[in-house]
Amino acid sequence: MAESNSDKRSAKRKSFESEAIPHMEALLRTALRMTRNQGDAEDLVQEAIVKAYRNWDKFEPGTNCRAWLFRIMTNIFINEYRSKSRSPVSIDVDDIDENYLYGQLASLGPENNPERELFNKILDDDIKKTIDELPDDFKMVVVLSFIEDFSYQEIADIMDLQLGTVKSRLHRGRKLLQKQLYDYAVKNGYIKERTR
């Protein structure tokens, strides 16, 4: 006996609810970083969820649903929200001492990822604000890597970028964060102030 349209819709809804809905909190968390506004973030997530549901038949079961949802949301943000917002910010990152803060953090222990360790220790409102102030291209890869824990390849897929571009943006994002977080880290005793 053939499956009725009602049964197909019900199966689609149940499948979507079990696979996609558990990622709503992560989507909203990242949308807040993208838009810097609660209402806009909720609208962005809602648009992404609606689009994902409409295209649920294109999702391949067994693949990374979370990454698929983030890609949809990121594309909506890039195509709609970002074009309405401010113009790109020009940053000169060549003068940033790229190794000092992370070298200090790495010397604290055997962590394989000192920047993630720093964020885990001090991810409070000041740190969130610092991340939010990064230029959008750098902010997105930092959030997807450090906060959402996506791999470089997953970030490349989500943002529709080349792997080398992701690595470059993450490197520059780290340099910018390092410069901005140095004073914060000294003030809060995470590292000792550099002697001149």
What is the per-residue pLDDT across 125-173, written as a single tens digit (0 to 9) for each? Answer: 667 778 888 888 788 898 899 888 899 999 999 998 999 999 999 999 9
Which residues touch 155 (CB under 8 Å, ≥6 apart)?
141, 144, 145, 161, 166, 170
Q: What is the domain class of 100-187 according to CATH?
A: mainly alpha
Please give the model's pTM, rounded to 2 decimal places.
0.64
Domain residue ranges in the chain: 5-84, 100-187
Check residue 64 and give its pLDDT: 92
Give the pLDDT score at 111: 45
Query: Which H/E stretch holds residue 75?
Result: helix 65-76
1.10.1740.10, 3.30.56.10, 3.40.50.10380, 3.20.20.140: which CATH number matches 5-84? 1.10.1740.10
Weakly modelled stretches of the chain, pLDDT under 70? 1-3, 81-126, 194-196
